[in-house]
Amino acid sequence: MPPVYPTLSIVVALGVVVLELLVIRSGIFRQPAYWLTMLVVYGFMIPVDGWLTKLSAPIVVYRDSDTSGLRPVWDILAEEYLYAFALLTLVILAWDHAGRAEHRRDDSRARP
């Protein structure tokens, strides 16, 4: 059995990609603003997630056998980047979806 945390992270990240490409189809992955945002957020993820998971004084503690064991930057597990991608992309998709719904409501009020 592969370790559960990286496996689930891959599954959930792929699930979010499929949700966008097949269901929502907002075109978010073609927007430079999305990728620039992810770049900035990943930059801030290093100190924040690093502080949470650093092995010297961790706030969040993982069972080693459930993780990939790969901690390339400041002890942050490799699968955490996939986890973050899934979490934040899902939030952005829902934010834009809610924004489009608001616009439609406004438009229908403006043009009765």
Partner 1 sequence: MARFQYLILMGLCVLITLPLEFVFDARVWRRPRRLAVALAPAFVVFVLWDLWATSTGTWGFNPEYTVGVTLPGGTAIEELVFFIVIPVCTLLTLESVRNVLSGRVRRPGARVR
Q: Which chain residues interact with partner 1 by CB under 8 A?
A: 4-5, 8, 12, 32-34, 36-37, 40-41, 44, 48, 51-52, 57-63, 66, 87-88, 90-92, 94-95, 97-99, 102
Q: Give the whole-angstrom CA distance, residue 20 versus residue 16.
A: 6
Q: Give the whole-angstrom CA distance, residue 108 versus residue 112.
A: 6
Q: In terms of CB distance, is 21 or 31 closer to partner 1? A: 31
> Least CB distance from residue 2 to partner 1, whole Å?
13
Q: Give the whole-angstrom CA distance, residue 56 versus residue 43.
A: 21
> Least CB distance from residue 68 to partner 1, whole Å?
12
Q: Give the whole-angstrom CA distance, residue 108 versus residue 102.
A: 10
